[in-house]
Amino acid sequence: MDPATFQIEYTCQLWREGDFIIAHAMPLDVMSAGKTEEEARNALEEAVTLFLRTAETMGTLEQVLEDAGYARVGDTWTGPDWVSVEKHTLSLVA
């Protein structure tokens, strides 16, 4: 499969760590960062592109995507339908 001939969707999750914005592509589990949200998103798009091209070169693209929960519909790989992304706090006694 030629990476230029298909589309893939992913969910971008952003958060701040110090002076940087971290961008995480779910469910691919690819991350990148930037000084602004736009820089982080652009860096993430580049990282996802490189990740997918590398998997294609290695002949593992379909397996990687299926393992991440994707399903192929025509020329589009669709990811899971996220119900929510939540932040929880848990107290533990050591």
Residue ranges per structural domain of the chain:
3-78
pLDDT the model gives residue 82: 86
C-alpha distances in Å from residue 82, one per residue of 10, 12, 58, 85, 86: 10, 12, 29, 7, 11
Residues in the chain with pLDDT values less than 70: 1-4
pLDDT the model gives residue 36: 98
- Quote the CA–CA distance of 36 and 11 in Å, as a whole number: 18
CATH 2.60.120 fits 3-78, yes or no: no
pLDDT the model gives residue 87: 87
pTM, two decimals, is: 0.85
